[in-house]
Amino acid sequence: MGMMQGKVALISGGAEGIGGATGRRIVAEGGSVVLGDIQFDKAKALASELGERAMAVSLDVRDLAQWEAAVQAAVATFGKLTHLVNVAGISEPGAVTDVDLDSWARTIDINLNGTFNGCRAAIPAIADSGEPGAIVNIGSMLALRVGSGFAAYCASKAAVTALTKTIALDCAEKGLPIRANTVHPGAIRTPMFERYLEALPGTVEEVEAMFAANHPMGRVGEAAEVVNAIVFLLSDQASFTTGVDFTVDGGGNFRS
């Protein structure tokens, strides 16, 4: 029996990258997934590939009404919702003194408010399932060890970390069997990372080497390595684990 047997998870950013890889793994582990993404066509294609235990919904995480519709779709299709994975996010460079103000607002809206909206919409449905549930929010190595040139990203992911802990406490104090944890990836080989390889000065090899140097293990991580942590924290194997910061960053958060 798989680690996610009989579970139903809603994943934001589920069309590709870490979100898409998480959807694949949950289905492989016996669960069902709702892949929410603003890239609806990509999400539909992946859901079709994964089969009858997967569906796609159009989801702009900034819109609470779209989150509520996604939760309703999960319950209508699979009979319940037991898990939530907040992956959708953006990363745009800019220090405090020069970050574009629209970029600042957009990053906070997607990374922080989007995660809040997902938790607000999903927690009542997870509680109604009558089963133990779990939430995993995606933070970042840069939430724990910030970089000066990513003010909005660092701030938003640090806030997600604190938000997750408040959810963990709130659910525990209310006697709800819902755990909430944060996974903090380092640089991970995803479409977002590939865009950085193309956008930053230097050859692709030089840019990747720069990212790798920020990780004591000397390389960039793979999406599957992050998914291992996500699925563990979602599963009953982590039944007494809540409010933790789980790093998957090759030691990058405590580098010298």
The DSSP string of 17-44 is HHHHHHHHHHHHTT-EEEEEES-HHHHH
Residue 134: per-residue pLDDT = 98
- Write the Ramachandran bin of 17: left for phi over 0, alpha for psi from -120 to 50, otherwise beta: left
Instruction: Classify domain 8-254 at the CATH topology level.
Output: Rossmann fold (3.40.50)
pTM for this predicted structure = 0.96
Q: pLDDT tens track of the chain, all 256 residues?
A: 699 999 999 999 999 999 999 999 999 999 999 999 999 999 999 999 999 999 999 999 999 999 999 999 999 999 999 999 999 999 999 999 999 999 999 999 999 999 999 999 999 999 999 999 999 999 999 999 998 899 999 999 999 999 999 999 999 999 999 999 999 999 899 888 888 777 778 787 888 888 888 889 999 999 999 999 999 999 999 999 999 999 999 999 998 7
What ranges do the domains of the chain cover? 8-254
Residue 198: per-residue pLDDT = 76
For the question of residue 196 being annotated catalytic, the response is no
CA–CA distance, 138 with 141 (Å, rounded to integer) = 10
Residue 200: per-residue pLDDT = 73
Residue 213: per-residue pLDDT = 85
Residue 106: per-residue pLDDT = 98
CA–CA distance, 153 with 63 (Å, rounded to integer) = 20
Active-site choice (67, 116, 150, 153)? 153
- Name the CA dihedral angle for 104, 106, 111, 116, rounded to a multiple of 10 degrees: 110
Burial degree of 173 (CB within 10 A; 0-12, 13-18, 19+): exposed
Cα 107 off chain centre by: 14
